[in-house]
Chain A
Amino acid sequence: MKKISFILNGEKRNAYVEPNDLLVDVLREKLGMHSIKYACGRGDCGACTVLLNGKGVRSCIILAIEADGQEILTVEGLSKDKLTSLQESFIDQGSFQCGFCAPGMIMSATELLNKNPNPTEEEVKEGLSGNLCRCTGYTPIIKAVLDVNEKDVDKK
């Protein structure tokens, strides 16, 4: 066992891990971040997406030990105080059915909007192309991401 420390959702956290422990398991099982979903286990579906140093990554193919000294953001951290306008937009558009893909979708879309606050539909599709949804047909999800932008424009 090796002790690792990292910033999780703005707070310093420690965990004892084996070299072969996966980040997704440590975050879910040891640190209670149940928004993260484990599905394909090979980086193809995006359900386990978290932001590592601000970038969307697949926590199912990262060793927990690699996170030592890094910064991680999950949905729990994103909405610590209140829902983000992206999350509100997901609710408005009914972008959930079973909801399993939503945390990963939201983390990937958050990364996209941080980098590019006014994405085109094509850019949204590219940004989310590694996140699979088996219910919605994607239309309401893409609309929700585009809508955040419109909402923010309305506010101005």
Chain B
Amino acid sequence: MAIVHEFEYFKPERIEDVIKLLLEYKGKASLLAGGTDLVVRIKDEIESPAVVIDIKGIKELKKLEFKEGKLHIGALVTFADLIDSDVVKEQFPLLWESSKTVASVGIRNRATLAGNICSGVPSLDSGPALLVYEADIVVRGAEGERVIPALNWFLGPRRTALKEEEFVREIVFSLPVKKHGGSYVKLGRYKGEDLAQVGLGILALEGDEYRLAFCAVGPVPGRAKKIEALLNGKPLTDSLIETAKSLVSEEISPITDVRATKEYRIHIAKIMLERGIKAAVERVDGKGPAYGERLI
């Protein structure tokens, strides 16, 4: 199916020119990076922008750089770039593991992390990693830059804290001070390309500190605060895991849809919690299943 909707196309080379275009066509412009979401939405006429601003001409947005304990992920960095990066694999293994579960190679070669969080669908695989590493999102607008913590980013399905005339310049992950291990457990219908029915990211830090975030089981991805409060400061035991599992239904609010029922999602989320947290804790000391190995 061809695209019926007509639009103008711009490919600026400077960030300033993106801002200018966003102000000029306020509310009528769509930003294009990988296009894996946008082009489908234009085809479906869900989005009908007057102009499409292709940001792939702006070289500085391709930056993927680790310095002084901070990983800077430019708006044009794709999931394939993240997977191919040794720094991501070694220092932020949970981000690496979740990136590996996004769609398929052919999509990961185009789709960007920034685009994924701007689309902000409830099932986004990158959501839990952003939330447990407590990443910062650097957005650029006419009046300069502001930093939005990932914890304040997701407002609703496809709704984020980004304003119309702003765009994401980069996403910054700070390396946790303590040694850590992580796991991203994703339930799809099969191992290949699929959306998450339940996604769970767990970060275990040395000293019995735990951060957990779910996706696909509520309107936005979110941290599991009650479970974290229960677990923090305690070494992991089987009975502790059982208590944590009993809190799962208080933390998530899944819906029944074509992919799974609400009851099934709650049931499986508990199993994912058990497997995911065991793996994350073992991985703190370099043991346990290798990153990328499916836990469910």
CA distance A65 to B54 in the complex (A): 10
Are B105 and A127 closer than 8 Å at their CB atoms? yes
CA distance A84 to B45 in the complex (A): 41
Identify which of B6-14, B63-71, B132-140, B245-253 touches chain A: B6-14
What 0/1 readout, one digit per residue, does chain B (3-33) give for beta carbons within 8 Å of chain A?
Answer: 1111111000000000000000000000010
Are A130 and B3 closer than 8 Å at their CB atoms? no
B: residues with CB less than 8 A from A are 1-9, 32, 35-36, 39-40, 42-43, 52, 54, 56, 80, 103-107, 109-110, 191-193
Name the one of B2, B35, B42, B193 contacting A62, with C-beta atoms under 8 angstroms: B35
**Count the A residues whose beta carbon is within 8 Å of the partner chain — how many?**
32
Please tell me if A72 contacts chain B, counting CB pairs below 8 Å.
Answer: no
Listed by A's residue number, 18 A-B pairs whose Cβ atoms lie within 8 Å are A19-B9, A21-B2, A21-B3, A22-B3, A42-B43, A43-B40, A43-B106, A52-B109, A55-B80, A57-B110, A61-B43, A62-B110, A63-B35, A111-B105, A129-B104, A129-B105, A130-B103, A131-B106
CA distance A46 to B4 in the complex (A): 22
Contacting B at CB under 8 A, from A20-73, are: 20-22, 25, 41-44, 46, 49, 52, 55-58, 61-63, 65-66
Nearest-neighbour CB distance to chain A for B98, whole angstroms, equals 15
Nearest-neighbour CB distance to chain B for A79, whole angstroms, equals 20
A46 proximity list for chain B (CB < 8 A): 104, 106
Are B36 and A129 closer than 8 Å at their CB atoms? no
What 0/1 readout, one digit per residue, does chain A (98-130) give for beta carbons within 8 Å of chain B?
Answer: 000000000010011000000000000111011
Which 7 residue pairs are nearest across A and B when measured between Cβ atoms? A130-B104, A19-B9, A129-B192, A20-B3, A55-B109, A61-B39, A56-B106
CA distance A5 to B268 in the complex (A): 51
Are B104 and A19 closer than 8 Å at their CB atoms? no
Name the one of A22, A43, A65, A127 contacting B107, with C-beta atoms under 8 angstroms: A43
**Known contacts A65-B54, A131-B104, then 10 further A-B pairs from the complex at CB < 8 Å, ordered by chain A residue:** A19-B9, A22-B3, A56-B109, A61-B43, A62-B39, A65-B9, A125-B191, A125-B192, A130-B104, A130-B106
A52 proximity list for chain B (CB < 8 A): 109
Name the one of A41, A58, A66, A129 contacting B191, with C-beta atoms under 8 angstroms: A129
Nearest-neighbour CB distance to chain A for B89, whole angstroms, equals 15
CA distance A21 to B43 in the complex (A): 11
